[in-house]
């Protein structure tokens, strides 16, 4: 564990993030006891998140416009997840944002041949290096929203938590045991206080 990194960088993963990176993207904005946290706050943070999730090579730089597109996709996915979970029709803007990311050019596959032999290398579009990661995230979200797991998509019921997860059973209401424990402790405290 990196002791210099902020504690919120070490949040417990929620069910489904291991299968759907789009779910991890939506969960980059959440609340902790001292306020709201945004793991994509700034170009460097967005770059780091994409690199950590294997969506962008470390050597490729992002600019503010590209990191803004990533944040816009996150908010669009949040709106689409909410519409799916509530059974309502989403606004046009989130759908347009997702579809624009799906239409973006993915990385161009190449074969590189170095001293250690051949290896496949995907080269992002030099004019828009965020296009491939956005495409992959949008494709992942489309798979989640249209697949069998969509029925399990839920927002955490803990007050102040804005994370999304896949329910492992119908009664599950919290993204992590930490949120569940926090809710139960608050209920117990309120019951003691009322007595």
What domain range is 130 assigned to? 7-109+119-154
Q: Which residues pair with 120 in a beta bridge?
A: 111
From the list 137, 181, 126, 188, the residue with the least C-alpha distance to 12 is 181
Is residue 114 included in any domain, yes or no? no
Is residue 66 included in any domain, yes or no? yes
Q: Which residues pair with 108 in a beta bridge?
A: 123
CA distance 177 to 163: 13
Per-residue model confidence (pLDDT) at position 166: 93
Is residue 184 included in any domain, yes or no? no
Is residue 76 included in any domain, yes or no? yes
Q: Which residues pair with 37 in a beta bridge?
A: 30
Is residue 186 included in any domain, yes or no? no
Cβ atoms of residues 143 and 150 within 8 Å = no
Q: Mind giving me the DSSP string for the chain?
A: --TTS-GGGGPPPPTTTTT-HHHHHHTTEEEETTEEEETT-SHHHHHHHHHHTTSS-TT----HHHHHHHHHHHHHHHHHHHHHHHT-PPPHHHHHHHHHHHHSPPPEEEEEEETTEEEEEEEPPTT-TTHHHHHHHHHHHHHHHHSGGGGGEEE--STT---EEE-SSTT---SSHHHHHHHHHHHHHHHHHH-
Is residue 97 included in any domain, yes or no? yes
What is the total count of domains within the chain? Answer: 1
pTM > 0.75: yes
108-114 and 35-38: which strand pairing? unpaired
Is residue 65 included in any domain, yes or no? yes
pLDDT in single tens digits along all 195 residues of the chain: 344 445 445 567 888 999 999 999 999 998 777 778 899 999 999 999 999 999 998 888 889 999 999 999 999 999 999 999 999 999 999 999 999 999 887 767 778 888 888 888 776 666 677 888 999 999 999 999 999 999 999 999 888 788 999 988 777 888 887 887 776 777 777 777 777
Is residue 1 included in any domain, yes or no? no
From the list 15, 27, 20, the residue with the least C-alpha distance to 167 is 15
Half-sphere exposure of 168 (CA within 13 A, CB side): 8
CA distance 126 to 75: 25
């Amino acid at each position: 564990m990196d002791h210099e990194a902020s504690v919120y960088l070490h949040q417990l993963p929620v069910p489904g993030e291991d299968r759907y990176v789009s779910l991890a993207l939506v969960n980059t904005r959440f609340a902790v006891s001292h306020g709201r946290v945004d793991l994509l706050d700034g170009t460097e943070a967005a770059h780091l998140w994409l690199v950590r999730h294997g969506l962008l090579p470390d050597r490729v730089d992002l600019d503010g416009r590209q990191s803004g597109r990533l944040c816009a996709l996150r908010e669009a996915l949040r709106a689409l997840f909410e519409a799916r979970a509530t059974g309502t029709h989403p606004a046009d803007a989130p759908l347009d944002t997702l579809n624009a990311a799906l239409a973006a050019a993915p990385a161009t596959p190449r074969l590189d041949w170095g001293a250690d032999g051949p290896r496949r290398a995907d080269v992002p579009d030099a004019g828009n290096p965020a296009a491939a990661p956005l495409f992959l995230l949008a494709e992942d979200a489309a798979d989640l929203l249209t697949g069998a797991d969509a029925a399990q998509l839920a927002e955490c019921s803990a007050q102040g938590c804005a994370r999304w997860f896949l329910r492992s059973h119908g009664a599950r209401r919290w993204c992590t045991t930490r949120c569940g424990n926090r809710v139960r402790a608050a209920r117990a405290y309120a019951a003691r206080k009322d007595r």
